[in-house]
Amino acid sequence: MVKIKNKKSQVSAQAGQAAIELAVFGAILIFILGTIVRTAIGNGYAQNDNMKAMRMAMLASWTDSKVSNVLGRGIIAHSNASFIYVEDRLSPDFNKYGDLDRNPFVAQGSGTFSPYLLYPLDPEEVQQNVPIMDVYINGQHFPFTTASYLSKRIIRPACPAGTPQALGGGLSPGQCAENQCLRSAREWAGGTVTAGDFSSVMTGIPLDANTETTSNAYGVAIFNALVAQGFVGGATGVGPITTGYVVTSAYSSIPSNFTIADPMNSNQPLTLTPTEISNIQNVLQKDSFAYKLFYTMAANGSSDFSAGASDTLPDPPFDLQRNNDPTNFVPAGMRPYIAWQWKIVPATSTDSIKLDASNNQYPTYDIDGRLKEVTVYGFQYNSDGTPTVTYEDPAGGDIDSSWDLNSCGPKPGLQNDSQIYTFTKNGTYLQIKEGKLYNIETDQYVRSANQRDTIDLIQRSVQLSNNTGRFCDSSGRPTAIVEPCADESTCEATGQYNDGKCSSGNGTCVFNAVEICVAESSPTDNCFTSANIAQTCYDTSDNMLFIRSRLEDRRGRFWMTDTSGQMSIK
């Protein structure tokens, strides 16, 4: 009996083994099938977005080239177009309510399809041709400019006295802005100076053996050198200048091996011994015009102002942060390997800054102490000694394309955090009906109904660098973005301003996906109040753009048994 029991037990175990194996391996296979399906669909989404981004970038480049600008030429805002697509797609899943999870797909495409690749802009065209980066987030179109075109009168900045702090990303935005102000104020030159200012302060300075002149003559020579180089202006052609006004300056990066001649000996580059530098520093007060001018002259091109003897002495060209902190200077041993250095340029005329519009020569300068160079398209020297500069600023667009750790604002662009909310009440729902529901009219049994009608609200935030007024006007309302378009193109179908069509001929598209503007964020008025939480909102107080995508998902299945062929009781 015992044997039989054991045998039956063995029989039972063996009989179930195949079923268990089938269940286990079948489950594994089905899991693998599901994974393949999900991965394949995800790859399809990604590939589709990548190809679409490339096509749209090339199409934008091509379309812009056919639109006439103010001079009857093509637009180059999208010549090197860049499109970014962000789409939150449903991921295949087996749930009671169907697919619920959304996966973000991000694709970036660039394309160039324009005959205006090397087209030199004229000043009147620049405003219409600032580069644009297009971002599409769940179908909402945000054309962000990556530069701005401005005209600004450069004046001596008003900021408290002090020395600019070292940069490097450790400064708060307020400290950083003050840093720039201090740098600009410190480098701003203006006022009247005489040759006597220099000759007097040079008195007593021991000169080296090569300079066979008096210290007084040496100071006059420095003054004359400043006049010759344009840092001191005044009456010309009427004999030696003995007094003049100090001109405003701009900074430009130049090759590091640039040198200037010694004002006392044009056959030699300007090199001063550490003793000479030290004596000059002791005599010249740092805030005096004379010191600034001397500093300026040295910054004009001395490749090694301290003659390499000591790194603790000022060496303006290698003061790359321009805060006069010797600890931040490029070490002497590294200077031969540095590709550039700052050079100060007198800003008194178009000639002095090498601006030549007739030959499309538009120089780049740092004009306001930000350590960022801009392209100068226009220059006017005012009677009060201040220049008005018209320039294209790569840091002035919606997105600062030149942002680095030395920039004062936060890092611009799409932020890492995103949030998703699903609205399912009062008009939107997730619903399941199961069981029998006999319809006497149709003789049908409804077995299962699965319906959903939901709104997925997905929030993303984009940090902008500047409020350019393209999305919100000064009165706190969304601005109608107007962009030129070719007559055969179709406008984007997003935004409350959108008309969906390009007007005939070389017309315009009018759109703006921003729905709410908040000027001063407060507890009662911000992008998160009950009235604003679901809408795309731009907070101009910190230039944060909250993009709220509202994706409607209305799907379902309805399965029933057909009983029309069966007997029924009427």
Partner 1 sequence: MKIKAQSTIEFTFATIVIMFLIYGMVQIFRWAGMDLANRRVAQDGALTAGSDPDTQLSTNAGDSVLPLVAVYHGTITNGYGNANQ
Residues of span 550-569 touching partner 1 by CB under 8 A: 550-552
Binding residue (CB under 8 A) for partner 1 from 2, 3, 14, 158: 14
Q: Is 405 among the residues that bind partner 1 (CB under 8 A)?
A: no
Q: Is 45 among the residues that bind partner 1 (CB under 8 A)?
A: yes
* Residue 465 neighbours by CB under 8 Å, 6+ apart: 395, 396, 397, 398, 399, 400, 403, 409, 412, 543
Pick the closer one to partner 1 by CB: 101 or 208: 101
Residues of span 455-494 touching partner 1 by CB under 8 A: 455, 457, 488-489, 493-494
Q: Give how far Cα 515 sits from Cα of 416, 497, 545, Å.
A: 22, 10, 11
Pick the closer one to partner 1 by CB: 25 or 438: 25
Pick the closer one to partner 1 by CB: 321 or 536: 536
Residues in the chain: 570
What residues are paired with 381 via a beta bridge? Answer: 387
Beta carbons of 345 and 229 less than 8 angstroms apart = no
The least CB distance from residue 467 to partner 1, in Å, is 23
Q: Which residue has the tokens 């053996």?
A: 209
Q: Is 207 among the residues that bind partner 1 (CB under 8 A)?
A: no
Instruction: Name the H helices within 257-401.
Output: 274-283, 289-299
Binding residue (CB under 8 A) for partner 1 from 9, 47, 214, 268: 47
- The interface region with partner 1, picked from 8-16, 430-438, 466-474, 556-564 by CB under 8 A, is 8-16
Q: How far apart are CA 507 and CA 173, in angstroms?
A: 41
Task: Give the x-and-dash track for 57-86 against partner 1 (CB under 8 A).
Answer: -xx--xx-----------------------
Q: How many residues belong to the site for partner 1 (CB under 8 A)? A: 63
Beta carbons of 520 and 539 less than 8 angstroms apart = no
The least CB distance from residue 58 to partner 1, in Å, is 5
Pick the closer one to partner 1 by CB: 54 or 482: 54
Binding residue (CB under 8 A) for partner 1 from 98, 139, 308, 413: 139
Residue 259: exposed, middle, or buried by beta-carbon count in 10 A (0-12, 13-18, 19+)?
Answer: middle
Strand, helix or coil for residue 55? helix
Binding residue (CB under 8 A) for partner 1 from 40, 117, 166, 432: 40
What residues are paired with 366 via a beta bridge? Answer: 251
Q: Give how far Cα 56 sits from Cα of 321, 466, 489, Å.
A: 41, 26, 12
Binding residue (CB under 8 A) for partner 1 from 44, 115, 170, 191: 44
Q: 275-280 long-range contacts, Cβ below 8 Å, gap at least 24?
A: 275/206, 276/205, 276/206, 276/207, 276/208, 277/305, 277/306, 277/313, 277/314, 278/313, 279/204, 279/205, 279/206, 280/202, 280/205
The least CB distance from residue 51 to partner 1, in Å, is 5
* Residue 1 neighbours by CB under 8 Å, 6+ apart: none
Q: Is 431 among the residues that bind partner 1 (CB under 8 A)?
A: no
Pick the closer one to partner 1 by CB: 37 or 70: 37
Binding residue (CB under 8 A) for partner 1 from 30, 166, 228, 432: 30
Buried/exposed 133-143: b ≥16 CB within 10 Å, e otherwise? bbbbbbebbbb
Binding residue (CB under 8 A) for partner 1 from 161, 531, 567, 569: 531
Applying CB under 8 A, the residues found at the interface with partner 1 are: 11, 14-15, 18-19, 21-22, 25-26, 29-30, 32-33, 36-37, 39-40, 43-45, 47-48, 51-52, 55-56, 58-59, 62-63, 87-89, 113, 138-140, 421, 423-428, 455, 457, 488-489, 493-494, 496, 513, 515, 530-535, 549-552
